[in-house]
Every structure is written in C-alpha cells, then in structure tokens.
Chains A and B, each alone.
Chain A
Amino acid sequence: MGRFNIKKHDTFIDMTPMSDVMVLLLTFFMLTSTFIKPEPIKVNTPGSVSEIKVPDKNVLTILIEKTGRIFMSFDKKGDALTTLDGICEKYSLSLSRQEKSEFGQLPAFGLPIQNIPALLKLPEDSREAAMSNESNKGIPCDSLDNQFKDWVLCAKEVNPDLRISIKADATTPYKVIKQVMTSLQDIKENRYNLITTLKKVESVDE
C-alpha cells in the first residue's frame, strides 16, 4: 500500500491587488481632503440652500459660540502675529517676541486683551482648555468695551484682502449676532460670509 500523499498547499496570498486598491484610496484621500482645523469651541452651523464656497485663502473666521462668546482665527499665522502687534500697540501691552510667537501658535483665540499675558503664562497644553473654560468671556463686543472692532480693524490694516466669515452656532441669540454685525458695520465692513452647512430643499416647482 502506498502512503497517503499529503499535498502541501501554498498559503501565500497575493497582496498586490489589495495594495493597488489601497494606494488608490490613499491618493484619493490625500488629494481631496482638507484637514479639520482644531477649534476651541464647538459650533453647529445652521443649514441653508446656499452653495457658495467659503473662500479658502485670506479668511478671518469669527466663531460665535451658542453662549455668545466670540473667538477669532486667522488662516495665516503671519497675519495673526502682525495683527497682535497692532493690538499691543493700541492697548499699550508689552509682550516679548517669544510670547507673541506662542500666541500665533494658537489655532483660534478669544479672550479680553488684558488677559493675554496671563494666558501665555500658562503651560502650552493647557491654554486651549483655559480658553474654552466657562470663566473666559471671549472677545468683548459691547458698546462699553468693543475690542472685537479693534481686532478686525487691525487685521484689515495688516491684510486688506482679508475676507471675513462668520461661523456662528445655530442657537446663538440674535442679540450677539446683531452686536457683531453692527460692529462690523461701524468699521464699514459690509460684505462678509455667513458659514452654513448645505441643506437641500425640494425645488419650488409647484
């Protein structure tokens, strides 16, 4: 009797097609994606039918939280730094170069100018938490102390091509929005974008 001839199967799977697909997917994601910008506060934008794209260069984003706190973020670090210079001069605030560049590292900021030195004294990783803390009031924007206006004015002086876009939470009280809008009106900024998410509406054919 002959022996059972156990055939050894080759368990080698060819991974080349899989690798091909992966490379394709990877290229797709790399080309189409824009990185999520970290924001210190959560903002749920309302929906609209508007399909205008948000400009992607030279944008000054004004973030408004639902409690009414105002934050700002520049898309270019250089603009943020030069604007800070202007603000420091206006409010006679002295910051060292080191402090200024550290401020420029923040993805978004929103605090009264007087509190900036205190914020920069904190360790780097707790700054964002300090800004999203309840005790922080955001950039003041009322008739008594309108630092928001100065920030925008300075930013516009630094970069006249700057586009203002407002990203506010859907449940923000209109009072705050009105304050922001009238402040912008006061400094003759009459064109700006309101950031919304796309919400399709059945066409009005009937």
Chain B
Amino acid sequence: MKTKQKKKVVRVDFTPMVDMMMLLITFFMLCTSLIKPKSMEINMPSNKDDIKEEQQNKVKASEAITIIFDKDNKVYYYEGIPEMGSLKEANYSDKQGGLRDLLLKRNMVAIQKVKALRQKYNQTISSDAFAEKKAKKKLDDEIEKIRGEKGVPNVIIKGTDEGSYENLIACLNEMQICDIGKYVIVAIEDFDKEMIEYYKTNGTNPAAGAATE
C-alpha cells in the first residue's frame, strides 16, 4: 500500500505584516525632513584694526559699487565715492534696472570665464566618484580664482535698520549669481542715510547735487 502524502498549503497571510509596514512608513514620512536646508558661507571682515586696513585696501571705495537695501524691499546703489545725488534705485528682479542686470554688465569677463569652465566641466563628467570629486574641487578653486581677479567689481553691501534679512540674503545671492568674489557687509553710515533721504525728495539728479554744494 502506498502512503498517500497530503499536500499542505504553505501560504502565510502577509496582511498583518503589510499593516505594520504601512504604519511604520507613515511614521517615517511624517517625522522626517527630506529637504536638507542649504546654507551660505560668509566671511566677515575682522573688527581688529590691523586687518581692517588690509580689507580697506582690498575694497577701494573709489572702485566699488555700494548697495544699500532699505525697507519695503527697496534697494539703492551708487558707484565710486558717494556724493549727494549719485544714488540710484534698483530692484531685486532679474529684469532691466535690477541689481543683477547692473552687476552682470560690470562683470561680463569673469562670468564668461566661469561659464566656459562650467561647460568644460559638464562635458568631462565621469562616472568615477573619486575623479568626479577631484574635478569638482578643481572647478570650485578655479571659479574662486576668477572671482578674485582684477577687474571684477568690488561690492559693498549696507543695510538700513528697517531692511529685512531676506534683503541681505537677496543681495548675497546676487553676488553668487554674478560671480563677484569681493564683497563686504558693512554698517551703514549717516551719509548714506542722508543720501537716501535726498533721493526720496529729489531723485537722481547730479545737477541738483552739484547746485547744493
């Protein structure tokens, strides 16, 4: 007589397992942040006097563009040495009359160079992670060098007390987009405030500025 072997079904019910997984996934989805915040690194000039002098050499007032941000997202700028009436208004947009427009025109040479470098980098992209890292570092170094070259405008950023943090970040952002390596954030002076007041009443009018002298 043959022994009849009964075939048993070895199916396991996975439904409870799936339930538990669902719970865990919901937990992780709700408690985590996938978007890591980015950051900007800034280097402030030191307060010590000896370094200050060196810094001043770096950013010569006569060759610099000074950007002053004010309340209600207004932003002004002047070039070179401040003078009553030399203040002009700009905005944060990338259109005509914006800060970016102004800085891009000033920094054409450097931007072209950086763009060429980036293109070269994009073409030679390799799958090797180590080489990739090395190439990226080299690219960053070179960009840094171009940004620090002669001919790249120096920018001084000032802000009135009524300006907001967002304005400061917007200004720094423009520096990065326009490849400007030399910029400083300094405290606003009384003369700058007077200039803003003057601008509000008279607008940009060098002739009027000359007349009051």
- Evaluate whether A171 and B47 lie within 8 angstroms (CB atoms) in the complex, with A15-B14, A197-B38 already known: no
Interface presence of B1 (CB below 8 A): no
Chain B residues, Cβ within 8 Å of A22: 18, 21-22, 25
Q: Which of B81-89, B171-179, B189-197, B202-210 binds A?
A: B171-179
Contact A169 B46 (CB under 8 A): no
Interface presence of A195 (CB below 8 A): yes
Chain A residues, Cβ within 8 Å of B36: 34, 53-54
Q: Which of B123-131, B145-153, B158-166 binds A?
A: B158-166
Please tell me the size bucket of the interface on A. 35 or more
Contact A49 B29 (CB under 8 A): no
With both chains docked as a complex, state the minimum distance between the C-beta of B100 and any C-beta of chain A, in angstroms: 7
* 8 Å CB contact of B167 from A14, A174, A185: A174
For the complex, give the distance between the alpha carbons of A170 and B34 in Å: 21
Contact A19 B161 (CB under 8 A): no
B: residues with CB less than 8 A from A are 11, 13-15, 17-18, 21-22, 24-25, 28-29, 31-48, 69, 94, 100, 104, 111, 115, 159-170, 172-173, 176-178, 185, 187
Interface presence of A96 (CB below 8 A): no
- Evaluate whether A171 and B166 lie within 8 angstroms (CB atoms) in the complex, with A15-B14, A52-B39, A196-B38 already known: yes
A-B contact pairs, 9 of them (CB 8 A): A15-B14, A45-B37, A64-B165, A174-B164, A174-B167, A177-B165, A194-B39, A196-B39, A196-B169
Chain B residues, Cβ within 8 Å of A18: 14, 18
Contact B46 A185 (CB under 8 A): yes
Contact B69 A29 (CB under 8 A): no
Q: Which of A99-107, A114-122, A198-206 binds B?
A: A198-206
With both chains docked as a complex, state the minimum distance between the C-beta of A195 and any C-beta of chain B, in angstroms: 5
For the complex, give the distance between the alpha carbons of A15 and B15 in Å: 6
Contact A174 B45 (CB under 8 A): no
Interface residues in A176-206 (C-beta closer than 8 Å to B): 177-178, 181-182, 184-186, 188, 190-198, 201-202, 204-205
* 8 Å CB contact of B34 from A12, A33, A49, A174: A33
Known: A35-B33, A188-B48, A197-B35. 4 other contacts (CB 8 A): A48-B40, A51-B38, A185-B46, A201-B94
- Evaluate whether A193 and B185 lie within 8 angstroms (CB atoms) in the complex, with A22-B21, A34-B32 already known: no
Contact B44 A185 (CB under 8 A): yes
- Evaluate whether A171 and B164 lie within 8 angstroms (CB atoms) in the complex, with A33-B32, A185-B44 already known: yes
Contact B165 A29 (CB under 8 A): no
Chain A residues, Cβ within 8 Å of B11: 12, 14
Top 3 nearest A-B pairs (CB, nearest first) are: A15-B14, A33-B32, A22-B21
For the complex, give the distance between the alpha carbons of A193 and B168 in Å: 14
